[in-house]
Structure 1
Amino acid sequence: MLVPVRTDTRRVKVAVAAAGISSFALLYAPQPVLPQLAAQYHLDPGGASLAVSVATGALAIAVLPIAALSEIVGRRPVIMTSVIASAALGLLLPVAPTYSVLLVLRALQGIAIAGFPGVAAAYLVEQLGKTGVAAAVGAMIAGNSVGGMLGRLSAGFSADALGYHGALTVVAVVGLIFSMITVFALPPAPPREPARNPLKKALTGVGSALAKPVLLAQYAVALLAMGAFVAMYNAAGFRLTGHPLDLSPAIASLVFLSYAMGSVSSATVGRLVGRFGRLRAAVGALLVTAIGVLLTLPDSLPVVIVGFLVLTGGFFAAHAVANGWTAAEAPADARGQASGTYTLTYYLGSSIGGTAGSVIYAHAGWSWLSAATVAWLVLAMAVVSVVARPRRAAAAR
């Protein structure tokens, strides 16, 4: 009896890791070529960053309706449709005739991608149970970070030789390969009884997902931490290729190797949660992220690189804790809605924070951008601390 369970668990981990690689490679593919887009279409950093923010904003808007849809049609069909459609749209991006058309395609791609992160955590709980979800969520987020790194590096290294059109094509092919792995590996979810009044159930689930303060705290962490993280990386290409560092786009794209640190931290943070508890692990990870931001301030390339390594590791650890906390605390009848709400705030932070950070950088420079992102991270620490401490005190009593 145990062998099939272990086999299914491995298949689940492989499938969600591949889906994460595909989705996140495609979602952030334009990020390393933002300077080239700005030069091609005569844009400032804020205008160029829309190539990222439009997709993440559309994802944020679509994620709750798609999560509600998954309550009706099931999680697996939604995930399968998501990875296939997002890869197909990725193949269309390089042939977009204008920047406006590219932004429209990116918005559609964001909607398509929403199907995976919006329901993945709920699918994992249903497939593996609460006791097995932590390791699987870690594998999924590790796949997300690998995808983010692989997509950005593929685009960055291809841009010099192939231009941004060729760079986006390379990433689209990568996304298509990993989406096919998901299609063949993803096991069907356990059978469920058909829901009565599915629309009413979906709306009730949204209310339940918004009723628990501990869940609201995780949504705040997602919003603020993701906003800070994307803001730093949206401006990274401009800082690294500009004065005084003056790197080529291909060399500057090596900063995305920092995502390897995210893969390690997200996959291992479960041990810290087991030892210190979710609250201390979350606050510690956010503090590490803020320290990493501060390390990027000096005009010294080695120190800047260390800063990106530290902030990336800290961010993905914080994300893993908050995402797993959401999945564990969500009411049984609202797992999809809680997962969807977390994903909504996560990508709303990416869209708003990423654009706001690019505007701050364009008008005030790297120091002010760093100050703003540290302030967002401190606010996230305060929110989760205030909300979670009473729960810990009550549990102790």
Structure 2
Amino acid sequence: MPASASLNADLSAALNGQALAEEGEGEKLYLVRGTPAYRRASLAFFMSGFSTFALLYCVQPLMPIFARDFGVSPAASSLSLSLSTGFLAVAIFCAAAVSERFGRRSLMFVSLLGASICTIACAAMPNWNLLLIIRALEGLLLGGVPAVAMAYLSEEVDPKGLGAAMGLYIAGNAFGGMAGRVVTGVLAEYFSWRLALVGMGALGIVAAIGFLVLLPPSRNFVPRKSSLRYHVDAWLGHLNHPALALLFAIGFLLMGAFVTIYNYIGFRLVDAPYSLDQTELGLIFTVYLFGIVASWAAGLLGDRFGHFAVMLTGIVLALTGVVITLTTPLPLIILGIVLLTSGFFIAHSVASALVGRMARGTKGHASSLYLLGYYLGSSVAGSVGGHFWSADGWWAVSAFTGTMLALALAAALLSRSITQRS
């Protein structure tokens, strides 16, 4: 680096109240908690998380409408979400590799903007197949956000503040998931599902612009030309780390259970004896507010009391919530969804931070593997759950998701044991 560029970087860091920290062979300029740059980055990632989940999950409360308007089954209607998350999972690998060459910030912005435009385009699709094609394309575009976001935070944020920053990013996911479901539910009730998607796409464009304006440029990222062999070796290296591999499995199981419950609870509640309309169904998704608080708290508690202890608590809480949804009274069903949502976001927030902490080098590749499992869980389990719903209703769905959460609990205990031994 030329001397003038180095001096400018040092001065900029000082003006932002950042600190120099050593890691590995050289010095790195970290975003330190409490500084203006750290706050801007945290807010930018809150907005990116908001936009990603709002755009991705805005179709979830519309699934009963899709089944009715397009004449498809509940399992087929879930493809409007499962295709997006499935293609997103695949795209994460490409995004992680591309970002190693061209950088994090610009790729995330282009992805958010493109996905927002796709959501608006979905509103104009005249038939089911075309809508699914656009949703698949949207998933491909959104793949440029999650893995790259986790890599940016792991590279740029002081490790002491990483848990809190990651928690705020996951809180943005929770807020976006809530807004996407609630806003589209209300707009679909009073106007149409097409206008609801236009509104969500416009909101996504605003969030993408805000993200670009707020996020500080990378300071620790070094662009590198790399071969396919380089990326394969990086992924295999992380998969050979047994504790990390278990975290990847936990992501699959947590997200699979969470999305399955949310996909089919709407079908249960729009039928008798509840007969909820789209607005009432959408308002139930305000329980995501508990996920926002839980994500933020989990990051702080994980940094203070230990990440594995907090993650285990979150999984147990989610499993308890699934059991409670088996009851009949609507208030108890809602309580079960609250516990599931809180527990899921606690466990996911901590697991995300653990991946960043445990990975040694090529953090983007480690993040991409975690998110591959995470979104494959959403895609695969979210669709498979429809067959359980058709076979034996809510009891079958609960048994399916409860089994996944029990496996996640066992994987977390084993990962903790391996980490403690090493």
Query: TM class by shorter-chain length?
Result: over 0.9
Q: Which has the higher helix share?
A: 1
Partner residue of 2:147?
Answer: 118
Instruction: State the alpha-carbon separation in 1 of the partners of residues 154 and 201 from structure 2.
Output: 30
Partner residue of 1:243?
Answer: 272
Identical columns (%): 35
Shift of 1:131: 2.4
Partner residue of 1:269?
Answer: 298
Match of 2:96 among 47, 64, 67: 67
Contact 2:102/2:223 (8 A) holds in 1? no
Match of 1:378 among 406, 415, 420: 406
Contact 1:294/1:370 (8 A) holds in 2? yes
Instruction: State the alpha-carbon separation in 1 of the partners of residues 142 and 247 from structure 2.
Output: 21
Q: Which sits farther off after the overlay, 383-392 or 222-231?
A: 383-392
Partner residue of 1:388?
Answer: 416
Instruction: State the alpha-carbon separation in 2 of the partners of residues 167 and 38 from structure 1.
Output: 17
Shift of 1:321: 0.9
Q: What is the TM-score when the length of structure 1 is the normalising length? A: 0.96
Partner residue of 1:339?
Answer: 367
Instruction: State the alpha-carbon separation in 2 of the partners of residues 130 and 122 from structure 1.
Output: 13
Contact 1:237/1:249 (8 A) holds in 2? no
Partner residue of 1:299?
Answer: 328
Tell me the amino acid that sits aligned with residue 363 of structure 2.
R
How many residue pairs match? The answer is 393
Give the secondary structure class of the aligned counterpart of 2:276.
coil
User: Is the radius of gyration larger for structure 1 or structure 2?
Assistant: 2
Q: Which sits farther off after the overlay, 227-236 or 200-209?
A: 200-209
Instruction: State the alpha-carbon separation in 2 of the partners of residues 281 and 261 from structure 1.
Output: 16
Q: What is the TM-score when the length of structure 2 is the normalising length? A: 0.90
Contact 1:222/1:342 (8 A) holds in 2? yes
Q: Provide closer, same or farther for how the CA distance between residues 189 and 311 of structure 1 changes in structure 2, counting only shifts above 3 A.
A: same
1:136 equivalent to 2:165? Answer yes
Alignment of 1:1-397 (within 5 A): 1=14, 3-5=16-18, 6-190=35-219, 192-332=221-361, 334-392=362-420, 394=421
Instruction: State the alpha-carbon separation in 2 of the partners of residues 159 and 175 from structure 1.
Output: 18
Instruction: State the alpha-carbon separation in 2 of the partners of residues 140 and 387 from structure 1.
Output: 24
Give the secondary structure class of the aligned counterpart of 1:176.
helix
Q: Provide closer, same or farther for how the CA distance between residues 228 and 10 of structure 1 changes in structure 2, counting only shifts above 3 A.
A: same
Tell me the amino acid that sits aligned with residue 102 of structure 2.
V
Instruction: State the alpha-carbon separation in 2 of the partners of residues 200 and 391 from structure 1.
Output: 28
Tell me the amino acid that sits aligned with residue 232 of structure 1.
I
Q: Which sits farther off after the overlay, 11-20 or 121-130?
A: 121-130
Stretches of structure 2 that go unaligned for 5 or more consecutive residues are 1-13, 19-34
Tell me the amino acid that sits aligned with residue 366 of structure 1.
W
Stretches of structure 1 that go unaligned for 5 or more consecutive residues are none
Give the secondary structure class of the aligned counterpart of 2:274.
coil
Tell me the amino acid that sits aligned with residue 381 of structure 2.
G
Shift of 1:387: 2.8
Shift of 1:2: 6.6
Shift of 1:149: 0.3
